[in-house]
Amino acid sequence: MKTYFLTVAAIAQLIEGKVVAGNGDVQIAQLASIREAMPGSVTFVAKPMYEQYVYTTQASAVIVPKHFEPQQPVSASLIAVEDPYLAFNKLLEKYAALQSLPTCGVEEPSYIGKDVLIGENVYRGAFSYLGDGVHIGHGVQIYPHVYVGAEVVIGDNTIIYSGAKIYPRCNIGQHCIIHAGAVIGSDGFGFIQQQTGGYQKTPHVGDVVLKDNVEIGANTTIDRATIGSTIIDAGTKVDNLVQIAHNVTVGSDTVVAALTGIAGSASIGNNCMLGGQVGIAGHIEVGDRTMVAGQAGVTKSYKEGNTTLMGMPAVERKQFVEQHIFLKQLQKASASN
């Protein structure tokens, strides 16, 4: 039997919106994108480029901006809100909470070492491993095949998905999410070239510290410090397939997109945004509120922050645009000759 999520009117109340067209008693079973929505689903439109789909969607309800004025007949119920993105995100959180993933209990077989402290309402999946001296907070969820090394500390309500590996002595804060396949605390890429031409490995005896509310994407790797700590500050979100090297510090509420690489001992400020495939050279400093465009390569420090960097090697946006215009002019001049 189909289980319904909420009525249109209840959804409007939940997201602090108002039903401005259609029937508030219609029941909603799922969330969907506006082009793929079917009857019984709710979707949203936030950008003018998607307005055309409001008139053709099969969704039962559409969340729209507060001042949206339909230019054609609409079959779906309309819920008006201040910010459709934020409203739909709130619905996603509600919907996710209804999913039947395990949140408490122990599945066997699993391994637990000596002197392990485990809080209340913890879930440990099958084949999970907790090393000696691990401290697990309340409400933590550890999914199957997770490895947690000795003396790791994991704060309350953190979720660690299947196959993630946390090396010994790392410290994970509260309300963090570590996705499948992520590796926290592996050795940094440190070697000393010998006179013979070979390389001698540099031991890495530091750790990794994730502060509260950090999210780490699938198959991302964060290396432990040579000495001291590699630090990801509170609220920062790191995408899939990102490499963060030894002794890096990333500030609070920074977002790092996929395939980015941050070399050793680099420092990234607070509230920064790093686009996909960005490269950050080692031992440089990027100040607060810096935006780095996708595929840019940052090779020197921009300590003052509050800027946008583009290109390879990366320069500030104004200089990048000037360079681009100059190249266009040069191409035209060359073609005319």
Please say if the pLDDT value at position 2 is more than 60. no
Q: Is the pTM of this model over 0.85?
A: yes
Q: What is the pLDDT averaged over residues 289-310?
A: 98
Which residues are CB-contacts of 311 (< 8 A; sequence separation ≥ 6)?
A: 293, 296, 297, 320, 323
Burial label, 101 (beta-carbon count in 10 A; 0-12, 13-18, 19+): exposed
Mean pLDDT, rounded, of the chain: 95
Please say if the pLDDT value at position 4 is more than 70. no
Instruction: Provide, rounded to the nearest whole percent, the portion of the chain with pLDDT above 70.
Output: 99
pLDDT reported for residue 171: 98
pLDDT reported for residue 274: 98
Please say if the pLDDT value at position 68 is more than 80. yes
**Structural domains of the chain, with CATH:** 6-97 (3.40.1390.10), 164-318 (2.160.10.10)
Q: Report how far residue 254's alpha carbon sits from residue 211's, in angstroms, rounded to the nearest whole number.
A: 12
User: Which among 266, 221, 226, 254 has a CA at the least distance from the CA of 240?
Assistant: 221
The 10s digit of each residue's pLDDT in 170-227 is 999 999 999 999 999 999 999 999 999 999 999 999 999 999 999 999 999 999 999 9
The 10s digit of each residue's pLDDT in 241-277 is 999 999 999 999 999 999 999 999 999 999 999 999 9
Lowest average pLDDT, out of 88-102, 212-226, 320-334, goes to 88-102
Residue for token pair 């920062």: 236
Q: What angle do CA 325, 323, 337 make, to 5 degrees?
A: 55
Please say if the pLDDT value at position 45 is more than 80. yes
pLDDT reported for residue 333: 85
Check if 246 is active-site: yes
What Å distances lie between residue 302 and 212, 233, 327, CA to CA?
Answer: 27, 19, 25
Catalytic residue among 67, 175, 246, 283: 246
pLDDT reported for residue 1: 38
Q: What angle do CA 176, 179, 184 make, to 5 degrees?
A: 75
The answer to whether the CB of 126 falls within 8 A of the CB of 147 is no
- By residue count, the chain amounts to 337
pLDDT reported for residue 336: 78
User: Which among 269, 308, 309 has a CA at the least distance from the CA of 285?
Assistant: 269
Q: Report how far residue 208's alpha carbon sits from residue 151's, in angstroms, rounded to the nearest whole number.
A: 12
pLDDT reported for residue 111: 97
Please say if the pLDDT value at position 44 is more than 50. yes
Burial label, 112 (beta-carbon count in 10 A; 0-12, 13-18, 19+): middle
Please say if the pLDDT value at position 37 is more than 80. yes
